[in-house]
Structure 1
Amino acid sequence: MKTIYQMMSLLFFMLVLSLPALKYLTEEPKSHSTIENRALASLPDLPLNFDQLTSARNDFEAYLKDHFGFKDSIIKRINGINYFLYKETTSKRVSIGKNGYLYLNSHGNDNKNAILKSVCNVTTPTEATLKKMKSGLNRFIDHHQTKGIETAITIIPTKSKIYPEFLPNMEGHWCDNTHPTWIDEFISDLNNSQLIYPLALFKAWKTEFDVFLPKRFHWNGKTPYKMAQKILKHWNIEQTLFPSSSIEPIKSDLNNHLAGLAFFDTTTKYSYLDEKMTRCRNADCITGFKSHYERGVVQQYKRNTDNSLTLLILSDSFGPGITRQLPIGFSEVVSVDLNHLQKNEEKAFIKWIVKKVKPSHMLYVMHDGGIIWQSLRLNRMLSKVE
């Protein structure tokens, strides 16, 4: 009897081990993973000679890892355990704080907390870097102002500056709000009336509504809408469009860092459905765009209005949030996220897009966590254009 139980246990164990292979054999191989949101390795060809053997082995290994049976289910459950038990994600770029508040701590996995350390004054740039940053911001404004384009830069305070109390303990200690940071002092010293830094405004709004939603580190809802109103006021432009609003669910930024899980917040959504507005969001919106910015995406809003004002927005990932709100004062809004613009494209693109759009107004949107990189790029970009 003992031998029978042992055999049954062995057979059961072998069956369990074979399940992933059986799952793979009974399914059509996928080319894209919905859970991981990426392309999967394709089945490589058999090696024809010894030289191809090493690369073929690596290709087969990548293919088997991507098409392992029940992989999606395993990823989903591991991520669920990490989040619900340990409040962790598989990404080093985000931090989960108190009450489930989500923060972006860096732009790369190899430099954890780089954004938080910069924004919260743990690390500061050198004087030489600050000088180049100052040059970049001022040159961008001055260069386009002299061409008759009303130009401004808005620097968006990130979530850690507004909600430091929900950061994890160590990061919360960094982001003590009692003293000005180097960013605050740097912007104050610039003393440029065309540079908009709404830190005090965001802190005041915080008492009225969620400036940043708990499970998002990008802005949504009321904040970019009210910021759009502030920008119109800065330029003395009348708001001519008053959209209706409703409370609706919105996907959390956390979904991009916890494959297989779905989280939502609720936000205020502004509706422009009743307006005669055309919207376009792809590289084909503007003829010739792709030849100047290969990996770029452009957004374009047009509507019938008494004014003929055209706004060009250049931005980081915070641009899209306010782009959809700014038609409240412009007949046309064109917005380009510059995150994928290559160095060899910079000079030609900036000259081309300004000439193509012919804006009456120009706005550069960046968040404070990217102020060093964005300012240095502006300095480099303008040195090529001027």
Structure 2
Amino acid sequence: MKTSLLKIKEFLTGLVDYLVVTSFVVFVCGVFVFFIFDIGVLNATTENRNLKSLPVLPRSFLQLQKYTKEYTAYFDDHVPYRNQITAFYNKSLMNIFKISGSDKVLLGEQGWLYFNGNDGKSFDEYLGKDILTKKQIELLETYLIDVNEMLRAQGRSFVVSIAPKKETIYPEYLPDGYSRGSKTKMDQVVSILKDKKILFTDLRPQLIAGKKEQQLYYKTDTHWNQHGGYIQYSSVMKDLGLLAQPAEYFKIHNLPEQVSGDLASKMLGRDDIRENWETLGFSSAVIVDPDPQADNGFSAENINAPYKKNVFVFGDSFSRVLTSLMAESFREVRFEWAYDVNYDLVKSSNPDFVVLEFAEGKVSALIDSIAKNTETVPSMVIGVRETNNVSWRFDEFVEDDDVLKINGWAHINKKSSEKSLISVVLSSDTTNYLIPTMPIRRTDVTTHFSSLNFDDSGFSINLKKKNLQKGIYSIAVYINKKGIIALQYTDKIVTVN
């Protein structure tokens, strides 16, 4: 009896081993058959990048070395079901070991996912390990003050709105060991905005209170949902002194099918974790996409809007909800994906309101963009000749070892300032610089002269002298009015040591 049982056991063990080995061989052979005949390759539809193409056969030993690397990359990209296998592996890590298969995503409790940055260090900001330096604070403070003053001088309202990170509003689902630091970058920015009395509302208290009523951020995505975006919209409208449309107006509801957010895709490599996704049930605005005046944006028009005003939003991906909601309140809404205000777009579109929106995690990107723009070296111009037909005045002229700051107005004699581009020229014995200025609306100049329209005659510059060659420079005003060029030297000089 025992002998029979042993034989049966040996037979079953051998059968299992045979089936396992056979299945493995069939799978491996199938992979290569699919690869050779290009069957079932699903990678191209699930990755947001161009896959490597088959390299050309080498014709020399040097080409052979390059070919080996290129073919390896091609093979890695086109192995059938690579994405599916990767997704299965990452999903096993999530379900069995409760860890994320990607450094970019932090797996929280109850299915909540958090973005950890492309470098896997985003949470250093939340933990208070990565805060703004004194120099960064000064740069941001100067920029926000200058933008606010310039837009107010032009008769426009300027509002700043910051979208908090998900972990700032939903810290209760974070894994153990992730506690908010005593000071974060957002705390520092909020302090600047409040001290300088720039139109701004800290959304954190409203969002924390609002989450008790309903979910405001997606579990599987970086962003908030329509209800979270509505809190931002109503806050911006309040800052502008206007009434927001009631939440019921938009008929927010879930899409028929569930959707997988960007964090789920980053963690698993495919859209395997889905959740309810909100959308608007009513919209009377007409979207114009893309906006011909914006490089990376769109505009919306609404003839039925309660406010016959125009608004320009400079922002990031969090602005998508804001702009769609604001389109129900304003005659025209323009959006440009940017981390700072584009003065040329403001001047050309002439909005009544300007909104600068950025995510809490993009504070450093905003400062980097500001630093890049302020570090721009002025362009050199050759053969500048004085025309002696410009009226001008410097209301403010401040020079120290590092910075030259000028605020004033200028216009071509006997011509209005409409469609005039004003620059400042610095001229030495060896070098001339042409420096673009920020436009400032000056209705007071029009009133003073009571002849032509000089509303666009105002200007301002804030120039770092380290970008200039050493020397003593005379200062001139340069105006280009639809091809009419005028240049007038002033009695001011600037010294660069």
Match of 2:282 among 246, 267, 272: 272
Q: 1:41 Cα shift?
A: 0.9
Contact 1:254 1:263 (C-alpha < 8 Å) held by counterparts: no
Map Cα deviations across residues 322-372 of structure 1 (whole Å, 9 max, x no partner). Answer: 221111211111112237xxxxxx9xx924322332221111111222213
- With over 3 angstroms needed to count, the CA separation of the structure-2 counterparts of 1:8 and 1:84, relative to structure 1, is closer
Match of 1:373? 365
Higher relative contact order (CA 8 A, sep 6+): 1
Greater fraction helix: 1
Over the aligned positions, Cα root-mean-square deviation in angstroms equals 3.1
- C-alpha contact 2:114 2:263 (8 A) present in aligned 1: no
Residues 1:251 and 2:260 aligned together: yes
Q: Distance in 2 between matches of 1:217 and 1:235?
A: 28
- CA drift at 1:228: 0.8
Tell me, yes or no, if the aligned pair for 2:237 and 2:244 is still in contact at 8 Å.
yes
Question: Following the alignment from structure 2 to structure 1, what is the Cα–Cα distance between the partners of residues 270 and 227?
Answer: 29
Partner of 1:300: 299
Shift of 1:254: 2.5
Pairing 1:137–2:140 present: no
Q: Which residue, out of 188, 208, 212, partners 2:213?
A: 208
Per the TM alignment, residue 97 of structure 1 is displaced from its structure 2 partner at its CA by 0.9
What amino acid sits opposite 1:327 in the alignment? A
Residues 223 and 238 of structure 1, relative CA distance in 2, 3 Å threshold: same
Amino acid at match of 1:362: V
Q: Which residue number corresponds to residue 241 of structure 2?
A: 236
| Match runs of 1:149-228 below 5 Å | 149-171=156-178, 173=179, 175=180, 179=182, 181=184, 183-190=186-193, 191=195, 192-228=197-233
**Partner amino acid for 1:138?**
I
Partner SS state of residue 51, structure 1? helix
**5+ unaligned residues in a row in structure 1: which ranges?**
340-345
The residue that corresponds to 1:343 in the other structure is none
Structure of higher CA gyration radius: 2
Q: How far apart, CA to CA, are the structure 1 residues paired with 2:90 and 2:183?
A: 38
CA contact (8 A) 1:136 1:379 kept: no
Relative to its length, the structure with more strand (as a share) is 2
- What does 1:1-386 correspond to in 2, within 5 Å? 14-27=25-38, 33-106=44-117, 108-109=118-119, 112-113=120-121, 115-171=122-178, 173=179, 175=180, 179=182, 181=184, 183-190=186-193, 191=195, 192-239=197-244, 242-248=249-255, 249-257=258-266, 258-273=268-283, 275=284, 277-281=285-289, 285-287=290-292, 289=294, 293=295, 297-305=296-304, 307-338=307-338, 350-381=342-373, 386=438
Return the offset for 1:95.
0.7
Identical-pair percentage: 18
Deviation track 1:46-97 (CA, whole Å, cap 9, x = no partner) reads: 1222332222211111111111133233123112212222333333122111
Q: Partner of 2:177: helix, strand, or coil?
A: helix
TM-score, normalisation: structure 2: 0.64
The verdict on how the C-alpha distance between 1:88 and 1:333 changes in structure 2, with shifts beyond 3 A counting, is farther
Q: Deviations over 1:294-348 (max 9, x none)?
A: xxx3132211135331111111222223221111211111112237xxxxxx9xx
**1:8–1:228 Cα change, 3 Å:** closer
- Checking the alignment, whether the CA contact within 8 Å between 1:136 and 1:382 is kept in structure 2 is no
* CA–CA distance in structure 2, aligned partners of residues 11 and 253 of structure 1: 39
Alignment match, 1:342:
none
- One-letter amino acid of the structure 2 residue matched with residue 278 of structure 1: V
CA distance in 2, matches of 1:206, 1:144: 35
